[in-house]
């Protein structure tokens, strides 16, 4: 998704204010941007940056910022830093809007209560409200947050059904099915009803709703995408205030949005910021266990395939900081079998995102040189065993990244297999917790959804023998005609064998022009490709025998995109009941903090 700046708010606020101010004063109206935004919520004692932008050539003489009527400088006990820049200029440097900013870095959220922040600039008086919430008093020792990127209820239903059904009932339920505290979380951004993984994973990890593509920050208009006002993450608070350890496990490149949201701060998801996020993890000391792909962002720019723009060798720097580094499943298992477990563990198993379960276990020719990657279950258990050494407890975020990464290219079998692998990691964690740490809160959710669902079944032989589209479509059965798919599970590993006579008629509700044959693809899918003019058209090599489906996205989109639906939340352990009901996903942060009894103002 494209990066967007919060100019929209400024204009919106200006219009709101215009409506309130007498006509004679309107000439002197100026757009004002206040970050954190209206309705932001905090824990008392949490740290954050407070920026005010005035979009004018100079700060008006009457410029003033107050909190509950007291000057902000007095309220926060510090003078702000003044900065200015021009944003939105054309490529030739002309045009653009000047911005005058004041910023207070790392101020401390006050005691619980409501706070009115008022900015006066010329004839503009702009008000936002912040709420500082009462901290909880829970007694959980550890928190594990499982995030299946892009997971929806429909995908869980499909994964469960693919494992077998008889007369309307599943024969092999998921581990997730045994969680009894269930909620629904909405995922919208402050600048859009749609969301990406950066701002949604940040909402889970900070309690603040951000702008699309922003991690642990409120997006400002400044030229530097790493200087935007920060909000403290859950992991940063735990590291600053408690002796807890922090772990991050993902099947993505670990500089990707969801893992990075545990510790990182930046406005966009470009290469420069992702390289910086891995430096932030190291220099802040927040992360003790980090596992996934991403070697190309660890290596200096001189190394082949590096995506860094500097000469830092992060492998050497992490090692110097005390991390045991493992780069294969074998090395990980050796490290975990040693008499003394590592105190800090860095697992880097692929240059970029890790391969998906279906390719690691069935279509292994797709792995290239990286044939010895651990799965999500083994990574989760390794992280738990390392983190579990800490008497003071831990926070671990585990991400199944490729539910999303495979739903984007409409690959239902790869996405659902990774969802089942996610479920197995949860099953393993539940058993680990029962044995080692029953006072652990487990939360399971998605950062956002995808528009996938099953609407019937397809008779594969009939579909493949058809010579025209009408006959192919006649092989799709719905309602009573659909019966059940015939996926088997010969080795009983809980993962369906996707090659079957009757398969899901499953589809994603947004896509480029493409063709669909509903059958497992031996290579990862790429349904749309660019033609010579850069327009995305059906990829003739992807499902060449499929039915043609007209695109409903702009012609620059080669894959599907995220959708609006609320995502499921499951929870167990101390404090779990906080997550029953329907809420914005920022509640996950407040519930995790409450479960631990985290009160940053007391510690």
Binding footprint of Zn ion on the chain (CB under 5 A): 404
Q: Which is nearer to Zn ion, 404 or 542 (CB)?
A: 404
Shortest spacing between CB 269 and Zn ion, in angstroms: 11
- Torsion angle, CA of 548/553/556/558, rounded to 10 degrees? -50
Shortest spacing between CB 409 and Zn ion, in angstroms: 11
Shortest spacing between CB 562 and Zn ion, in angstroms: 6
Shortest spacing between CB 461 and Zn ion, in angstroms: 34
Say how far apart CA 18 and CA 6 lie, in whole Å.
Answer: 19
Q: Which is nearer to Zn ion, 197 or 440 (CB)?
A: 197
Shortest spacing between CB 185 and Zn ion, in angstroms: 16
Q: Which is nearer to Zn ion, 404 or 418 (CB)?
A: 404
Say how far apart CA 119 and CA 383 lie, in whole Å.
Answer: 46
Query: CA 24, 28, 33 angle in degrees (round to 5)?
Result: 130
Q: Which is nearer to Zn ion, 404 or 587 (CB)?
A: 404
Shortest spacing between CB 401 and Zn ion, in angstroms: 9
CB nearest Zn ion: which residue?
A: 404
Say how far apart CA 419 and CA 236 lie, in whole Å.
Answer: 29
Beta-strand pair 452-459/476-477: antiparallel
In the numeric block, which tokens belong to residue 185?
Answer: 């979380």
Say how far apart CA 22 and CA 568 lie, in whole Å.
Answer: 47
Shortest spacing between CB 112 and Zn ion, in angstroms: 36
Say how far apart CA 85 and CA 99 lie, in whole Å.
Answer: 5
Q: Which is nearer to Zn ion, 155 or 382 (CB)?
A: 155
Q: Which is nearer to Zn ion, 101 or 213 (CB)?
A: 213
For residues 400 and 419, the answer to whether their CB atoms sit within 8 Å is: yes
Task: Count CA atoms closer than 13 A to 458's CA, side-chain side.
Answer: 26
Answer positive or negative: Cα dihedral of 302, 307, 311, 313.
negative
Q: Which is nearer to Zn ion, 283 or 554 (CB)?
A: 554
Between helices 234-241 and 197-206, what is the axis angle to 10°? 40
Q: Which is nearer to Zn ion, 245 or 268 (CB)?
A: 268
Q: Where in 389-533 does DSSP place strands (E)?
A: 394-400, 440-445, 449-450, 452-459, 476-477, 502-508, 514-516, 528-530
Shortest spacing between CB 200 and Zn ion, in angstroms: 10
Q: Which residue has the tokens 């990691």?
A: 425
């Amino acid at each position: 998704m494209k990066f967007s700046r919060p100019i929209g708010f400024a204009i919106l606020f200006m219009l709101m204010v215009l409506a309130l101010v007498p006509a004679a004063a309107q000439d002197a109206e100026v757009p004002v941007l206040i970050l954190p935004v209206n309705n932001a919520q905090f824990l008392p004692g949490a740290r954050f940056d407070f920026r005010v932008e005035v979009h004018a050539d100079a700060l008006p003489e009457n410029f003033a910022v107050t909190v509950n009527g007291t000057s902000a400088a007095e309220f926060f006990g510090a003078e702000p830093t003044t900065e200015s820049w021009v944003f939105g200029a054309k490529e030739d440097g002309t045009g653009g809007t000047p911005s005058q900013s004041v910023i207070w870095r790392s101020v401390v959220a006050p005691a619980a209560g409501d706070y009115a922040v008022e900015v006066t600039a010329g004839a503009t008086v702009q008000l936002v409200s912040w709420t500082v919430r009462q901290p909880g008093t829970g007694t959980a020792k550890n928190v594990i947050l499982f995030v299946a990127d892009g997971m929806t209820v429909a995908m869980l239903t499909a994964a469960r059904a693919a494992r077998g059904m008889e007369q309307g009932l599943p024969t092999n339920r998921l581990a997730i099915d045994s969680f009894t505290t269930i909620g629904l979380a909405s995922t919208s951004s402050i600048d859009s009803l749609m969301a990406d993984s950066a701002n949604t994973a940040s909402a889970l990890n900070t309690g603040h709703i951000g702008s699309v593509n922003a991690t642990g920050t409120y997006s400002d208009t400044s030229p530097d995408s790493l200087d935007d006002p920060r909000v403290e993450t859950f992991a940063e608070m735990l590291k600053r205030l408690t002796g807890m350890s922090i772990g991050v496990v993902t099947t993505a490149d670990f500089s990707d949005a969801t893992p990075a949201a545990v510790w990182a701060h930046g406005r966009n998801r470009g290469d420069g910021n992702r390289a910086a996020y891995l430096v932030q993890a190291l220099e802040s000391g927040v992360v003790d266990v980090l596992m996934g792909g991403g070697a190309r962002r660890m290596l200096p720019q001189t190394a082949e395939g590096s995506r860094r723009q500097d000469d830092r060798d992060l492998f050497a720097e992490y090692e110097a900081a005390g991390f045991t580094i493992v780069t294969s499943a074998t090395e990980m298992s050796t490290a975990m079998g040693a008499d003394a477990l590592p105190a800090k563990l860095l697992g880097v198993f692929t240059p970029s995102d890790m391969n998906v379960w279906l390719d690691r276990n069935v279509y292994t020719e797709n792995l290239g040189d990286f044939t010895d990657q651990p799965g999500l279950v083994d990574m989760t258990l390794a992280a738990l065993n390392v983190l579990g050494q800490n008497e003071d407890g831990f926070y671990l975020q585990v991400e199944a990244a490729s539910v999303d990464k495979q739903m984007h290219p409409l690959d239902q079998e790869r996405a659902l297999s990774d969802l089942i692998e996610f479920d197995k990691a949860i099953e393993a964690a539940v058993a680990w917790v029962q044995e080692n740490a029953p006072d652990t809160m487990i939360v399971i959710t998605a950062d956002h959804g995808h528009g996938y669902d099953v609407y019937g079944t397809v008779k594969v032989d009939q579909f493949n023998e058809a010579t025209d589209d009408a006959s192919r479509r006649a092989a799709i059965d719905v309602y009573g005609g659909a019966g059940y798919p015939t996926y088997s599970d010969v080795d009983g590993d809980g993962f369906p064998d996707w090659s079957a006579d009757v398969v899901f008629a499953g589809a994603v509700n947004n896509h480029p022009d493409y063709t669909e044959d509903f059958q497992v693809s031996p290579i990862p899918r790429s349904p749309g490709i660019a033609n010579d003019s850069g327009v995305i058209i059906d990829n003739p090599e992807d499902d060449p025998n499929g039915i043609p489906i007209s695109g409903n996205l702009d012609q620059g989109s080669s894959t599907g995109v995220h959708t609006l639906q609320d995502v499921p939340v499951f929870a167990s352990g101390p404090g779990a009941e906080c997550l029953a009901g329907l809420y914005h996903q920022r509640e996950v942060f407040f519930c995790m903090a409450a479960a631990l009894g985290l009160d940053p103002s007391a510690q």
